[in-house]
Amino acid sequence: MCDVPLVSVVVPTYERSAMLVEAVESVFRQTYGNVELLVVDDASELPAEQALAEVTPPADTDLRVLRHEENRGANAARNTGIEAARGEFVAFLDDDDYWRPGKLARQVSALRGADEAVGVAFTGLVYVDENGTTTATTSPVTDGDFLEQLVRGATFGTFSAVMARADVFDSAGLTDERFPCWQDREWYFSVAADYDYVSIPEPLTVRRYHDDRQISDDYEARRDVAYPLLVQKHRDRIAAVDPGYERTFLATLNRYVGLAALRSQRYFDGVRYLLRALRYDPTAAATYLYLLVAVGGRYTYEPARVCRRLFERVSHYVSTVRARPT
């Protein structure tokens, strides 16, 4: 094993040239010193190669731009990058996210210090709005069985927060291009069949929310495509591991769909899916809370959402103040 193994960074991009430059520059600022950066342009009107014409990679970073002739979706772009990658480790970065400087170094260290059963490493995330204001911070789960945690809906983070050993793709496969959303979590289920994980709690990945991020808010895509596909692909294997996992898995997915319906102001649908979630798992206290704020439609859900955002901002402010040196 090389003392400084090559890390391949895959950045899928489509029609976000300004944010792409910021994402790429965050890779250039990494403290880790042996990086292959693969930008995969999913047929943007302004080619990524032109958008990046003015950026200069550091000496320890090899920048390559690959291009699809037609738009094929984020997972197809990720797969193009995976297939072209030469590194011992592969990390992903969405074109509208960016990293803090020590992210790659911490993940490489974590994976090299773990046994071979550990296939992926996650970092915490900080969420910012269009003005760069921090709205929330999350940390990945740090212990427990990978599959069980996924079944229960535990937080691990998006593709931008994960690094994988290159050989993980031999068993887990490439990312599934049929999924319009839940793309990261679906691939994690595939990884969990053969591998464990390691987590770095620090928020080294920055996730931006903006008007373009419509995939995360597409209720119909979750209900009509992602939900049935995820059940079809993973339900039987999960049930074979533990029959109790199956009911928890279905409860979690129905809760996710219900929450997506509420975000889309489809309150009746939200209540219906939350009730389905409770039928599968009547012990899930959080689902009762969501149902409570959903039954009054916008008159109860919207105030609850505002209060939650306020609580998250206050909590982040308090944690930041406490972390300051005295």
**CA pair distance 194, 192, nearest whole angstrom:** 5
Q: Is the pLDDT of residue 314 over 60?
A: no
H or E stretch at 10: strand 7-13
DSSP, res 161? G
Number of residues that this document lists for the chain: 326
Please state whether beta strands 134-138 and 89-92 pair in parallel, antiparallel, or not at all (unpaired). unpaired
The arithmetic mean of pLDDT across residues 158-175, rounded, is 97
Least confident piece of the model among 103-107, 171-175, 253-257, 313-317 = 313-317
pLDDT for res 215 = 39
**pTM (predicted TM-score):** 0.91
DSSP annotation string for 203-258? EEEEEE--TT--GGG-HHHIIIIIHHHHHHHHHHHHHHH-HHHHHHHHHHHHHHHH
CB 89 within 8 A of CB 8: yes
> Tokens at residue 118, please?
């550990």
Which one, of 165, 166, 167, lies nearest residue 112 by Cα? 165
**CA pair distance 43, 295, nearest whole angstrom:** 43
240: burial class by Cβ within 10 Å (0-12, 13-18, 19+)? exposed
Which one, of 307, 251, 297, lies nearest residue 275 by Cα? 251
> Tokens at residue 94, please?
């969405």
pLDDT per position as a tens digit, 187-209: 999 999 999 999 999 999 999 98
Q: Is the pLDDT of residue 321 over 80?
A: no
- Domains, in order of start, for the chain: 7-208 (3.90.550.10), 218-308 (1.25.40)
Q: Is the pLDDT of residue 109 over 70?
A: yes
Which one, of 95, 131, 103, 81, lies nearest residue 21 by Cα? 95
Q: Is the pLDDT of residue 315 over 80?
A: no
Q: Is the pLDDT of residue 243 over 60?
A: yes
pLDDT for res 297 = 85
Which one, of 44, 93, 49, 38, lies nearest residue 71 by Cα? 44
Q: What is the overall mean pLDDT for the chain?
A: 91
Which one, of 305, 269, 275, lies nearest residue 287 by Cα? 275
pLDDT per position as a tens digit, 55-66: 999 999 999 999
| SS3 (DSSP) at 288 | helix
Q: Is the dihedral of CA 169, 126, 154, 181 positive or negative?
A: negative
**CA pair distance 124, 115, nearest whole angstrom:** 21
CB 13 within 8 A of CB 42: yes
pLDDT band at 214 (very low <50, low <70, confident <90, very high): very low
**CA pair distance 92, 107, nearest whole angstrom:** 12
H or E stretch at 134: strand 134-138
H or E stretch at 41: strand 35-41
Query: How far are the Cα atoms of 32, 127, 173, 317 from residue 94, in angstroms, in the given order?
Result: 19, 14, 20, 26
**CA pair distance 189, 268, nearest whole angstrom:** 30
Return the CA Rg of the chain.
Answer: 20
In sequence order, the β-bridge partners of residue 13 are: 41
Q: Percentage of the chain with pLDDT > 70?
A: 90
pLDDT for res 302 = 81
DSSP annotation string for 246-310? HHHHHHHHHHHHHHHHHHTT-HHHHHHHHHHHHHH-TT-HHHHHHHHHHTTTHHHHHHHHHHHHH
End-to-end CA separation in angstroms for the chain: 42
